[in-house]
Structure 1
Amino acid sequence: MKQGVRYEISGLVQGVGFRPFIYTLAKKFNLNGEVYNDDSGVKLKIWANQNDIKAFEKALFNELPQLARIDEIIKQDCDDKFNDFSIIESKSDKKFAPILPDFALCHECEQEYNDPNNTRYKYPFINCTNCGPRFSIIKALPYDRINTTMNKFNMCKTCHDEYTNPLDHRYHAQPISCPDCGPTMSLKTKNAEILSIKNDAIKQAAKLINDGKILAVKGLGGYHLICKATCEQTVSTLRERKQRPHKPFAIMCRDISQAKTIANINKHEEQLIKSNLKPIVLLQAKAQSQIAKNVAPNLDKLGIMLPFSGIHLALFEYLDCAIIATSANISAEPVIYDEISLKNHLNDVIDYYLDHDRDIYSPSDDSIAYVINDKHYFVRTSRGLHPYFIHTKYKKQATILALGAELKNQFAIYHNSLIMISPYIGDLKNVATFDRFKSVLKLFVDTYELKFDYAIADMHPYFLNTKYAQELGLNIIKAQHHQAHLLSVIFENNLSIEKEYVGFAFDGTGYGLDGNIWGGEILKIKGREIKRLYKFDEILLIGGENSIKNISQIALSVILKYDLIKEANWFLQNFDKIKLKNLTKLHFAAKNCVKTSSIGRIFDAFAAVILRKYSISYEAQSGMELEALYDESLDVAYELEICNGIIGYKKAFINALKDKPKVAATAFINGLANVILAIAKEQKSEILLSGGVFLNQQLTKRLHFILKQNDIKYYENIKFGANDSNICIGQLQYALIGEEHER
């Protein structure tokens, strides 16, 4: 017996091949009906036998396209009858489809790329409905070719036939093109003189890279700086030109086999690095490999990714080794994505550049991830992940802007039950990055015609994004930084907001309720209520922010606080005597000093004495180098003292001043894990873990082990990242608490 059914499907169901997927299933299961997009997702009506409908519903989830995600299905009876099945035009009064991130090349396109009989054999711009650029080329919605930077390329008949065929995997793939109608590669000197085009350009570019030259290569969301990863001299030249003395470079390998020659890769790491995200994956480096030691100095891990576009596959046809593929930018600025900016800012860095004429409208960075205990954790969420749209169960009709943090910024928007999360933007203290924040926000506002009811911001009084929101005339609610970290864990893990938790918020900087800089906080949290249970013993940052890179000054602060001048005599001898005298005066007078309880700064202090290091050149360098020294075979842990709500580390610091580096690094990290365990056992509560310090893999692995041993339930950030990129999520959760109690 036939019946009519109507489905309302929401989630990631537009621009991902969902309607042709439905069309294929309809033909397979003898369904008649229609499917179309509208403002809230996909609407589907079918007329068929009950058994066929049941088989269709099972296949709907089991065979879902790789980029699609179903968040909710509403099913109702329907009186409409049909004689065939068709895809009909969208029914929309508003522009509401999600802006999707750029995706790495899918398996089917990669097979076609390598097939000599295929039209797109070795074609650098090959893509389909399941892969390729999205966010980087969209200028407006609806997501039609006319609203993308592909509009200037007219489809040939072959591409048009594929584009209009519901059974083809390029059906409505807006970036569709082929060698006859698509973009063109060109190799240029740094003065923009064209040396060669198309495949000759790629071949010549690869030869230059093999010869030790440094090239900028335009990809999906911007340019990469690319050079040989096996030549120390070439890497040194790149470091000198880019003024990046120590921060590790990402590596791109030809394939998983090449990646396994330079790093240890388990099956879960292999799954991640080969996934359709193609992120940079942090992997344990092999001691004996051909990769130059100065690619990641003093670290035991390498950030490795595989080619994620036809452009990179084409280069590897002619490359003779793995390559450095790092964002083409000035330090701390956004990735460069247009030719003019490349010539203006990196002309002294590059020797040549490999360009193409598909314009990038919005840049995107590479996502970064790692694996712990078979789970995929994300450090940076951009290409393949963000923008990210979540359909929630909140019913509030409002539009709320969560501004996020100033460092590692991402913003989020709540609009009538939908949450939109921006891609990674970066550190807003930089003018170019702040301009990017404003331009990406404008893209969302203009695209969805948003008018904010209010904004929610960090408590810090001088953040640029907060000032910008004030200039826009928005009413602003403020949420404490570390509370937002913990609320992001509650949101991500769909935890009850009525329940009480103990949260560990460990990071580098966050404006505290008392006006001081927090960062080593143990908070009792329930809904919007927080109570500070413990904090790490505060130190003074002598010289304020100036000491963040000069970590010897942070160590000096600990030495002076705990009166350890005798024990630290060997360390202090390396200071200029006059400078040491002046810094000591500032400390005891508390002039030009900032008080902080930050674990990030305590890491810096320990790193200074353990590593005999007096300054660092990039954020988290201290923690990463201590992590590299960690030795799982050592059963050592420094004891941290807990007294009257203060966690002290005097004894630990004394030991660190005299212990061997491996012992000291291991004992310090294990000591931090042990103090978390001790407080968790005392509080007898489920715990939350958030903040950039928990990106330290050795600390996290140790914590997982001892918390599970003691049957303590813990929750953490996994897909949204533990660092400040999750602040916007916590801010939105803070705003929505009290509006609705269920998501």
Structure 2
Amino acid sequence: MLPLGYKLEISGLVQGVGFRPLIYEIATQLKLFGEVYNDGFGVEIFLLCDEVKLNEFIEKLKVHLPPLARIDRLKSTLTRVKPYKDFVISNSKQSPKTAPILSDFSLCLKCKEEFYNPQNPRFLYPFITCTHCGPRFSIIKALPYDRKNTSMSEFLMCDFCQSEYENPLNRRFHAQPISCPHCEIKVNLKDTKGQILASKNKAFELCAKFLKEGKILAVKGMGGFHLMCDALNLSALKELRARKRRPKKPFALMCKDIKQAQNLAFIDEDEAKLLQSPLSPIVLLKAKQELECIAPDIDKIGIMLAYTPLHLLLFEYFEGVLVATSANLSGESIIFKEDVLLQKLKGIFDFYLDYEREIINPSDDSIAQIIGGKTMFLRTSRALNPCYIELDERDCKQSILALGAELKNEFVIYHQNKLIISPYIGDLKSLDTQERFFSLLDFFKQTYELEFDMILCDKHPHFSYVKQFKAYKTYKISHHYAHFCAALFEFGVDEKVLGFIFDGTGYGDDGTIWGGEIFLGDLKEYERIGHFENFKLINSDIKNLQNLALSVIWHYDLENEAKDFLAQIPQIKQNNLKKIYCKSTLLTSSLGRIIDAFGAIVFNQEKISYEAQIGLLCEKFYDKNLDFSYELSFQNGQINFKEVILGALKDEKSRAVTGFFNALANFMIELSEAYQVKVILSGGVFQNKTLLEILKRKKFDFFVPLKFPCNDSQIALGQMAHFLKLIKMSEI
């Protein structure tokens, strides 16, 4: 009869992160016999031991987890096991696939030390990596996560790399992207015709020379190409803006290290920690001085530190700060293939730095900011998504797809009691981005062998990407209720709460455009107890701020008070727009559009160049030392904002902005006191750091999404959270 032992089934982030070598090391230390291997669910371990040794093993495992690992579920079962004579790491086993695919991470400290060590075989090698860092999602083709299933399958390991790869006690044990200068991934600098100008370190040297001369380069990063130029070269910045047709939208910056970043921005301890973390996102920071051509008119800049050895090698030759903006056409997804780069961005860059390893799955840089010492993510992609969440309940055997929103899209899959949240995809109004949506969805379908039983979608009747699923059974969820439910899910709140759901645009239950909503509800149902007054839109072009300003002026019959503002607009144009306004049936309660109309008046802005431009301008002019507020009156479930518009027409910038933001905060606090329940805030308006800091200073107790963006990227998660709640309650 076989001896008794234990079988451990572990799921979570446990593949490709150095988890099995740790198991091997602990088992060896405790002199335990058995085996460990990856399977489609995670990791399985067999141990020939008693319960005391098992508990000691599990305790050590939890204490010494590798940096990127996460245990979601650990199940141990007493069973008969083989009569093991040692402990081994066995080959991966195929099975139904639910194992997570990790995202791509920045270079770890140990690899960084080796990168800069002249005595190390990988000194200044642009693809140094180990199981604690480097690419995962960007190179994987299929599960299990083995080299043959990645774009590294094209590269034959040298003997040196092979020896590390096969050594369970080496941190490069089964590090699938492993390579070194003897089995290198080649880097080439090319011209716009694809001709190689230089290779290896010479490519980086020439790259730096061109950057210093003011040239614009496309540089292949972890998940796609960046457009780069010298961030302190004014003519290069102006040229990049002209070529990209990007007059005002801020550029993200890449710095070599934290010291370089501190020269540009005020960085507190939490922000420094986030910048230098394995996530290495773009962090929104307060600029130390005006950087007019980098972030026009505003006082914030987005900075990330060099997160790959390839970027670090570039900084060995280039002394300065780099603009690092996604290589794409406006509204389209990041370009990650050489032929597409040459086809679509011809005339935008002068040269490009490319490498041989193929990117299978592109990803954008994640974006975050620090609020009250906590990290709030505004975009979740590189180093964060795909995100896998194992649920406690096992109430549903279906496979479900939540399609999410049209803007800032991410989708969510429910399969075998797990949520799979896709990386950031973008705005699906673009056909290019829709192609990325369906390509990424197909990748997950094939990887996990999925067939969907139900499709969850927005109530908007005209989303083209939703129409692609007309053959499926569908369930529709209100856009703003999805915002509400996503926040409830993040904080595990399962009771009735008051929700302020403020954003730019979302299809309302009554067919109007919502965006300034107050809900009372839970994951099962909700009641709309209030909203900003509906006002007419002149047309659907929300980038035309002047039209929004005219709409709110006419809504409140403020033409006399707005004489100075109206004097800037030709009378013929006003007359024509007034006719359109009077006939318009487009109604909105959107606080985002009210903020834009307010900004058009206060900052004399006719159009916006990018989303949240007015919000960022407001943050610059808010004066926390000014004790002043307008009033937002609330009658019959409607928020009257007439005083805010009057203030915009007569007060100077700082007073107007301060009065508006304080009015919003005071209104939310006062209304909340009448309900005495928990309060959640969700929707894109609450990405505004200044507004949240006002609420915190006033000691207001609220929940706002941090881990999952409070903008439209969270919509699919909210759709899924509501639907699973209904299933749990047997209401579907």
Give your verdict on TM over 0.5: yes
State how far apart, in whole Å, the 2-side matches of 1:619 and 1:322 are: 25
Asked if residue 732 in structure 1 is aligned to residue 726 in structure 2, the reply is no
- Could you tell me which of 587, 597, 600 is aligned with 2:592? 600
Residue identity opposite 1:535 in structure 2: H
Which residue number corresponds to residue 460 of structure 2? 460
Deviates more, 1:158-167 or 1:323-332: 158-167
User: SS at 1:33's partner residue?
Assistant: strand
Q: Does 1:30 align with 2:22?
A: no
Q: Secondary structure at the match of 2:11?
A: strand
1:438 is aligned to 2:432: no
**1:534 paired to 2:500:** no
573, 576, 580: which one aligns with 1:579: 573
The counterpart of 2:545, out of the listed 530, 542, 551, is 551
Partner of residue 126, structure 1: 128
Of 85-94 and 75-84, deviating more is 75-84
Question: Shift in Å at residue 16 of structure 1?
Answer: 1.4
The verdict on how the C-alpha distance between 1:707 and 1:514 changes in structure 2, with shifts beyond 3 A counting, is farther
Provide the C-alpha distance between the structure 1 equivalents of 2:220 and 2:160, rounded to a whole number of angstroms.
27
* Equivalent residue pairs, number: 726
Residue 90 of structure 1 and its aligned partner are, at CA, apart by 2.5
The one of 582, 586, 593 equivalent to 1:588 is 582
Unpaired segments ≥5 residues, structure 2: none
Displacement of 1:562 in angstroms is: 0.6
1:677/1:707 contact within 8 Å kept: no
What is the CA–CA distance in structure 1 between the aligned matches of 2:235 and 2:729, rounded to whole Å?
Answer: 59
Q: Distance in 2 between matches of 1:64 and 1:465?
A: 41
Structure 1 residue 707: Cα displacement: 4.4
Contact preservation (8 Å) 1:232, 1:293: no
Matched, 1:564 2:563: no
Aligned-pair distance for 1:464? 2.1
Match of 1:504 in 2: 500
Distance in 1 between the 2:155 and 2:9 partners? 35
- Who is 2:139 aligned against? 137
2 CA distance for matches of 1:625 and 1:214? 28
Query: What is the correspondence of 1:203-352 to structure 2 with a 5 Å cutoff?
Result: 203-287=205-289, 292-352=291-351
Aligned to 1:677, the other structure's residue is in SS state helix
| Bigger mean CA deviation after superposition, 47-56 or 63-72 | 47-56
C-alpha displacement of 1:183: 1.1
Is 2:477 aligned against 1:479?
yes
* Partner residue, 2:98: 96
Partners in 2 of 1:735 and 1:637 — Cα distance?
40
State the Cα deviation string for residues 692-714 of structure 1 (Å, max 9, x = none). 00000001111233243xxx4x2
Matched, 1:58 2:52: no
Name the structure 2 match of 1:161: 163
Contact 1:30-1:48 within 8 A present in 2 as well: no
How far has the Cα of 1:46 moved from its partner? 2.2
Which SS does the other structure have where 1:295 is aligned?
coil
Q: Secondary structure at the match of 2:551?
A: helix
Following TM superposition, by how much is the alpha carbon of 1:89 offset from its aligned partner in structure 2, in angstroms?
2.2
Match of 1:636 in 2: 628
Determine the structure 1 residue equivalent to 2:709.
Answer: 721
Question: Normalised by the size of structure 1, how large is the TM-score?
Answer: 0.96
The whole-number CA distance in structure 2 between the counterparts of 1:78 and 1:17 is 26
Distance 1:72 1:580 in 2: 63
Aligned counterparts of 1:705 and 1:572: Cα–Cα separation in 2? 37
Is residue 429 from structure 1 mapped to residue 429 from structure 2 by the alignment?
A: yes
SS at match of 1:217: strand
Whole-angstrom distance in 2 between the partners of 1:127 and 1:342: 26
Give the aligned partner of residue 4 of structure 1. Answer: 5
Indicate if the aligned counterparts of 2:14 and 2:69 stay in contact, CA closer than 8 A. yes
Amino acid at match of 1:637: S
Once structures 1 and 2 are overlaid, which stretch shifts more, 314-323 or 28-37?
28-37
1:698 aligns with 2:690: yes
1:524 matches 2:520: yes
Tell me the residue number matched to 2:613.
621
Q: Paired residue for 1:469?
A: 469
- Distance in 2 (CA, whole Å) between partners of 1:207 and 1:444 is 42
Please, which moves more after superposition, 16-25 or 364-373?
16-25
Q: Cα deviation per residue 1:539-584 (whole Å; 9 max; x = unaligned)?
A: 11102x22x1110110111100111111111111111221111111
- The farther-off stretch of 71-80 and 594-603 is 71-80
Any idea what the Cα deviations from partners look like across 1:602-643, whole Å, max 9, x if unmatched?
110111111111111111111111122112222222111111
Contact 2:553 2:562 in 1 (8 A): yes
Counterpart residue identity of residue 701, structure 1: E
Give aligned-pair identity as a percent.
Answer: 47
3-state SS, counterpart of residue 445 of structure 1: helix
* AA aligned opposite 2:343: N
Contact 1:250–1:302 (8 Å) recurs in 2: yes
Give 1:57 shift.
2.4
* Alignment check: 8 A CA contact 1:215 1:352 kept: yes
Contact 2:41 2:97 in 1 (8 A): no
Larger displacement relative to structure 2 (699-708 or 664-673)? 699-708
Counterpart residue number, 2:378: 379
Deviation string, structure 1 residues 322-362 (Cα, Å, up to 9, x no partner): 11000001111101111111111111111111111111111
Cα displacement (A) at 1:491: 1.0
For the 8 Å contact 2:488–2:523, the answer to whether it is kept is: no
Q: Which residue of 1 aligns with 2:488?
A: 490
The 8 Å contact of residues 688 and 715 in structure 1, kept in 2 or not, is answered as: yes
Q: Is the 8 A contact 2:529 2:637 kept in 1?
A: yes
1:315 partner letter:
L
Does the 8 Å contact 2:502/2:590 carry over to 1? yes
CA distance in 1: counterparts of 2:85 and 2:489, whole angstroms? 45
What is the match of residue 196 of structure 1?
198
Q: Does 1:665 align with 2:657?
A: yes
Give the counterpart letter for 1:306 in structure 2. L
1:7 deviates by: 2.0
Question: What residue identity is the alignment partner of 1:528?
Answer: K
Look up the equivalent residue of 2:353 and give its one-letter code: L
CA deviation profile, 1:105-129 (whole Å, cap 9, x unmatched)? 1111111111111111100011111
Answer whether contact 1:13 1:68 (CA < 8 A) is retained.
yes
1:53 shift after superposition: 4.0
Q: CA deviation at 1:246?
A: 0.4
Alignment match, 1:114? 116
Give distance in 1, aligned partners of 2:694 and 2:60: 41
8 Å CA contact 2:38–2:144 kept in 1: the answer is: no
- Separation (CA, whole Å) in 1 of partners of 2:260 and 2:33: 49
Root-mean-square deviation (Å): 1.5
Whole-angstrom CA distance in 2 between matches of 1:37 and 1:315: 37
In structure 1, C-alpha distance between the alignment counterparts of 2:142 and 2:50, rounded to whole Å = 41
Counterpart Cα distance in 2 of 1:297 and 1:398: 49
What is the alpha-carbon distance in structure 2 between the residues aligned to residue 442 and residue 136 of structure 1? 15
